[in-house]
Amino acid sequence: DQQVKQNSPSLSVQEGRISILNCDYTNSMFDYFLWYKKYPAEGPTFLISISSIKDKNEDGRFTVFLNKSAKHLSLHIVPSQPGDSAVYFCAASALSQGGKLIFGQGTELSVKP
Amino acid sequence: NAGVMQNPRHLVRRRGQEARLRCSPMKGHSHVYWYRQLPEEGLKFMVYLQKENIIDESGMPKERFSAEFPKEGPSILRIQQVVRGDSAAYFCASSHRDRGSNQPQHFGDGTRLSIL
């Protein structure tokens, strides 16, 4: 039962262009959504989050959009930089269920110079 | 990933031995979560602890696995009688959770467990 899905295993983007990473979920109890970036042999690094009461949150080059009716969220990176190349994980949690994170499978982003 | 400290970074055990993984949360954080990442998969929740209490262990295998977060010292994930299938990266995360709102979890760099 995959409650959080990232259907694109990989994404390749040219430096300076926009990267859009997508994530779908099934559990309507989720009220908090996060994006993490992960390099090999390191732990996930928190990037940005959004509460279910909002539909957009922006932090510098990173913006997360939430569409609750479609149970879909996306991460936009503008402009993309080669240092953004990493695996990006979408995660969701429900405060009523203890706040444990449910992760997607990850999308490997490659930003080419 | 400054703040959450995990050790050892790499651990090699033979089948049947015990593995102990340690996690010190970020300063001021009293909530600890353990996750496991099997090869080619995403991270899967194992257990959520506060000081001296297990809050949610719904992701823990029923046998051989245990976790604790004592009043003093780090959180420990203990795996007894390890088998090859236990080979994975084990990540610890901590948060400063407020009961009324969500807070992000911050992760350590993990312990990579290899079973010979």
Task: Give per-residue pLDDT as tens, B42-84.
Answer: 899 999 999 889 999 999 999 999 999 998 899 999 999 999 9
Q: Hunting for tokens 């996930």 — which residue is that?
A: A44
Q: Residue B2's pLDDT is what?
A: 55
Mean pLDDT of chain B: 92
pLDDT of residue B103: 84
Distance from the B100 Cα atom to the nearest Cα atom in chain A, whole angstroms: 8
Nearest to B42 among A41, A98, A103 (CB): A103
| Paired residues of B48 in beta bridges | B33, B56
Q: Which residues pair with A21 in a beta bridge?
A: A75
Residue in chain A closest to B95 (alpha carbons) equals A99
**A105 contacts B41? CB cut-off 8 A:** yes
Choice between B96 and A108, residue whose per-residue pLDDT is larger: A108
Q: Please say whether the beta carbons of A109 and A88 come within 8 A.
A: yes
Alpha-carbon distance B90 to nearest alpha carbon in chain A (angstroms): 9
Residues listed for chain A: 113
Nearest-Cα distance to chain A for B86, in Å, is 18
| CA atoms of B69 and B113, how far apart (whole Å) | 20
> Euclidean distance between the first and final Cα of chain A, in Å?
38
For residue B99, what pLDDT is reported? 58
Predicted confidence band at B1 (pLDDT cuts at 50, 70, 90)?
very low
Residues of chain A in contact with residue B42, where contact means CB-CB under 8 angstroms, are 89, 103-106
Interface test with A, best of B38, B102, B112 (most A CBs within 10 A): B102
Per-residue pLDDT of chain A (113 residues; tens, 9 = 90+): 689 999 999 999 999 999 999 999 999 999 999 999 999 989 999 999 999 999 999 999 999 999 999 999 999 999 999 999 999 999 999 988 888 999 999 999 999 99
pLDDT of A9: 94
Token pair recorded at residue A108: 């490997």
Taking 90 as the threshold, does the pLDDT of residue B98 lie above it?
no
Query: To which residue do tokens 């080979």 refer?
Result: B87
Q: Do A98 and B55 touch (CB under 8 A)?
A: yes
